[in-house]
Amino acid sequence: DTEVTQTPKHLVMGMTNKKSLKCEQHMGHRAMYWYKQKAKKPPELMFVYSYEKLSINESVPSRFSPECPNSSLLNLHLHALQPEDSALYLCASSQDYRTRQPQHFGDGTRLSIL
């Protein structure tokens, strides 16, 4: 069991659908991350939240919209996605973004766009 919980584990959606991915941690971490991972490739950073504020957006298309309602939760809202957005979406957290701390990852949401 991981300390970072992601839901759902699998998601299939059409290009016109709107859905959300959720991530939760109760370790008191103040930095949370979204990564995208294609098959047989390393994770690519999408967003970083530090103390519930967006710190980094790695030029991610606006069809991905992150939200951090509180220090334990991180959402990724999806709208009008493309087939190439099919991937594993990983959430991670760390104690603090300003000092280099180990990142704890969730099990990911496997997203398929039809």
Partner 1 sequence: KNEVEQSPQNLTAQEGEFITINCSYSVGISALHWLQQHPGGGIVSLFMLSSGKKKHGRLIATINIQEKHSSLHITASHPRDSAVYICAVFLSCTGTASKLTFGTGTRLQVTL
Q: Which is nearer to partner 1, 63 or 104 (CB)?
A: 104
AA identity, residue 44: E
Minimum gap (Å) between residue 50 Cβ and partner 1: 8
Q: Could you tell me the two tokens for 98? A: 């300003």
Minimum gap (Å) between residue 16 Cβ and partner 1: 26
Our finding on whether 97 is near partner 1 (CB under 8 A) is yes
- In the block, tokens 């859905």 appear at 19
Residue 70 host element (H or E): strand 64-70
Q: Which is nearer to partner 1, 18 or 55 (CB)?
A: 55
String marking each residue 54-73 x if it binds partner 1 according to CB under 8 A: --x-----------------
Q: Which of 76, 50, 46 is nearest to 60 (CA)?
A: 46
Q: What does the alpha-carbon distance between residue 56 and residue 76 come to, in Å, rounded to a whole number?
A: 14
Q: Hey, is 80 helix, strand or coil?
A: coil
Residues that bind partner 1 (CB under 8 A): 2, 31, 37, 40-43, 45, 48, 56, 88, 90, 92, 94, 96-108, 110
